[in-house]
Amino acid sequence: MTPVWLVLNIGSSTIKFGVYACADGAPLARGAIDGVGLAPRLNAVLQGVPAQIAVPPAMDDTRRLTRWLLALLEDRLGPLDLRAAGHRVVHGGRDFGAPTLLTPEVIARLEALSPLAPGHQPFNLAGVAAVAEHWPGVPQVGCFDTAFHQHRPTVAKLYALPRRYAEEGILRYGFHGLSYDYIASRLPSVLGDRARGRVIVAHLGSGASLCAMQGLESVETTMGFSALDGLVMGTRCGQIDPGVLLHLLRQGMDAAELETLLARQSGLLGVSGLSPDMRSLLASDAPEAAEAVELFLRAVIRQIGALTAGMGGLDALVFTAGIGQHAPAVRARILQALAHLGLEMDAAANDANATLLTVPGSRVTAAMIPTDEEAVILAGLQQCPGAAG
């Protein structure tokens, strides 16, 4: 049997995975199941061969679907000698700032954080349970989206609430840390000397946030206590006046209804009434679609301006994630709006999804770098004490 590592990056609607040989880290399988809970579909590369594989009907439960995926991988790749599994875990709270062995006690503490990330954490932990059922006793490691932001100054984490609430854990944690960690590792090769300067990374996808970096480390980010805050997202509201929430509660909406509204019925979907998918909205002639796109752009541009002011200037702007990587029209609108900062867009490079998006000599550099959260999870898995290799 081939000794391997398994990486799982599980969200509410997607299961991304990778199987890597322990000997040299070569990928034996990589892919994703999209449409979990609706119409799941699997696209993968198995031993270098692209494959589209039908998902059995009624597979709408993350834990069962992950068990099916693990069995499929062994069927296609042959029996696997799994040495350890690594998982994306969205919320690590105050205590988990590095890849951590997922003991029963650690899992219980992470389950207690589920109310802080209800659209993510339970799905992450369902993958842990599925692996434990399929390969009992195999070490598993959690890699945390909040970890990259954990070393920001205390004042960057505080809300203007009585101090006791911060002591109870009501803080600005920040998310998308695995993505930002990967992008930070790529910045020196893409930006050269500017990499360690004042950089804003825009992770723009169905979930979206910005991270201001200096010295390749997070100094500020747009998400806070939960993954609802900050930018307009696919189905999430982003920044909102808390008075709106108080008003809705006074009108009789309960916490569960409010959570559904803010996390699953708002954002691009809510404003457009059509779709949470930026591609569909850009292709639509509906005025509501145009308004949703404009609201998204305004939020991004406004927050880039705020982060730039906080750092005292900007040396580089980097786009990543689904919209950031594949929507030249969105990038163009943002770069044009920020031309006053010194961004001189290369329109041809932007249209071609090139790495560098600005002309030579631009005072501020713009770039597009595809993210790879699974690579960060694999590295964390390899480095974590207690994870056999």
Environment class of 266 (CB within 10 Å of its CB; exposed 0-12, middle 13-18, buried 19+): buried
Name the CA dihedral angle for 317, 321, 323, 327, rounded to a multiple of 10 degrees: 70
> Residue 60 and residue 58: Cα distance in Å, rounded?
6
**Residue 357: CB partners within 8 Å, gap ≥ 6?**
319, 331, 335, 345, 346, 349, 350, 366, 367, 368
Tell me how many helices (H) and strands (E) the chain has.
Answer: 14, 13
Mode of pairing for the β-strands spanning 27-34 and 41-46:
antiparallel
- Cβ neighbors of 383 (< 8 A, separation 6 or more) are 99
Q: Which helix (H) or strand (E) holds 211?
A: strand 208-214
Q: What's the farthest any 2 CA atoms get from each other in the chain?
A: 61
Degrees, nearest 5: CA angle 373-376-378: 110
Catalytic residue numbers read 145
Q: Alpha carbon of 121 to those of 66, 104, 226: distances in Å? A: 15, 16, 11
Q: CA nearest 148: which of 67, 79, 202, 221?
A: 221
Q: What is the DSSP string of 218-255?
A: EEEES--SSTTSSS--SS---S--HHHHHHHHHTT--H
Measured CA to CA, the distance from residue 220 to residue 138 in angstroms comes to 37
Q: Answer whether 318's CB lies under 8 Å from 338's CB.
A: no
Record the tokens describing residue 98, joined without a space.
Answer: 């590095």
Q: Is 22 helix (H, G, I), strand (E, B) or coil?
A: coil
